[in-house]
Amino acid sequence: MKALAIHGKEDIRWEDREAPSPGEGEVRLRVNYVGICGSDLHYYFHGANGEYTIREPLTPGHELSGVVDLDPSGRLAPGTPVTVHPARYGVEVPGLENHPHLRPGGDYFGSAAANPHRQGGASELLIVEDHMVRVLPASLPLERAALAEPLAVAIHAVSLAGDITGKRVLVIGAGPIGLLVVAAALHAGAAVVGASDVREEPLDRATSLGATEVSLVGRDTIENESYDVVFECSGVGVALTQAVRAARRVGTIVQVGMLPNADIGVNLAPMLAKELTIRGAFRFSTEIDDAVALLAESDALDSVISHVLPASDAVQAFELARDSSASAKVLLSL
């Protein structure tokens, strides 16, 4: 079998590996599609994602779909279409009973946070624990199902803002996650969803998903106190400053984009007089089930997938994925 492995900065290889065998409580999958995420881009282009540095070859990928290849328990027949919840949770902690994704000590597919690293899904054959498997409805194609993990992130972020029915919502950063937040916010009942980005192409994609107010950074002005809820999806400090300005009094800001692990300049002064709530959003808990159901309802989110390239063309795929003018979500086919 073949698998991708990032050996360091701009060093990714399509390597031969021995086919793995599932043990008790495990299932072997034949992976069809893997999405390229922002963390994957950091690992490839920088050799690190925030404070997590690659110390051994790392197979990327936590957004995936495929079919069952072998289930020793006999519960899942070969060919059953599936996606995967990519998290293993840490030990239970008092106060986090309803937030298992926040427990310390857990891990995630395609992450260098632990050593040895937690290998990811960009592999022709993949072993997963059986509780991670989510069987797909017959109406959900495997290609679209690769959006389940990032859509779960978006649904979780929207849920953190509370009831947004009838509210005005702004999404800053119209990359793949921002686009899915636009869709999730509309699905949750937002009356108006606006989008802001530094490039016109992502804004066009946001408009196609239902955003009705778009702002190009450097050209358009977002009025102060013009939105009830702001989702910051770019991970850029100055965008958080913009979020604080754009939010109305007693409004809510959800920080979805991964901010750099460094001291950065952010002006939070207006949050005091406005009594704003700023919440962080980290991955998700059970929302992948909601994401699968939403994706099965219609093909409305197919446009988020802009390109599908063979995993053997990973270098080209990663270059494409980091160019937001040219691409939205880029999938690898295995």
What tokens were used for 33?
A: 């599609």
* 261 within 8 A of 50, measured Cβ to Cβ: yes
Which pLDDT value is given to residue 73?
97
Angle between helices 176-187 and 148-160 (to 10 degrees): 60
* pLDDT mean over 42-47: 95
Pair 12, 315: CB distance under 8 Å: yes
**pLDDT value at position 112?**
95
Q: Write down the pLDDT at residue 263.
A: 87
Task: Check pLDDT > 90 for residue 25.
Answer: yes
The mean pLDDT of the chain is 96
Residue among 94, 85, 41 nearest 63 (CA): 85
SS percent in the chain: helix, strand, coil, step 5:
30, 30, 40
What CA–CA distance (Å, rounded) separates 211 from 214? 7
Residue 258, pLDDT above cutoff 90: no
Residue of 90 and 184 predicted with greater confidence = 184
CB 306 within 8 A of CB 9: no
| pTM exceeding the 0.95 threshold for the entire prediction | yes
Could you check whether the bond before residue 86 is cis, i.e. omega within 30 degrees of 0? no
What pLDDT is stored for residue 159 in this prediction?
A: 98
What does DSSP say about strands 247-255 and 227-232: parallel, antiparallel, or unpaired?
A: parallel
- Asked if the model's pLDDT at residue 125 lies above 90, the reply is yes
Q: What separation in angstroms does the CA of 176 have from each of 25, 53, 180?
A: 33, 24, 6
Q: In angstroms, rounded to a whole number, what is the distance separating the alpha carbons of residues 246 and 278?
A: 13
Contact 197, 226 (CB under 8 A): no
Structure confidence by residue, pLDDT tens digits, 160-181: 999 999 999 999 999 999 999 9
100-114, 124-138, 313-327, range with the lowest pLDDT: 100-114
DSSP codes of every residue in 121-176: S-BSEEEEEGGGEEEPPTTS-HHHHTTHHHHHHHHHHHHHT---TT-EEEEE--SH
Q: What's the confidence (pLDDT) of residue 31?
A: 98
Amino acid 51: pLDDT: 81
CA distance 261 to 219: 29
Exposed e or buried b per residue across 179-218, where buried means at least 16 C-beta atoms within 10 angstroms of its C-beta: bbbbbbbbbbebebbbbbbbeebbbebbeebbbebbbebe
Find the distance separating the first CA and the last CA of the chain, reported in whole Å: 10
Structure confidence by residue, pLDDT tens digits, 295-307: 999 999 999 999 9
Range with lowest mean pLDDT among 48-57, 130-139, 278-287: 48-57
Distance CA 71, CA 127 (A): 10
pLDDT bin (cut points 50, 70, 90) of residue 260 is confident
What's the rounded mean pLDDT across residues 87-102?
A: 92
Give the percent of the chain with pLDDT over 70. 100
43: number of CA atoms within 13 Å, CB side? 26
Confidence of residue 253 (pLDDT cuts 50, 70, 90): very high
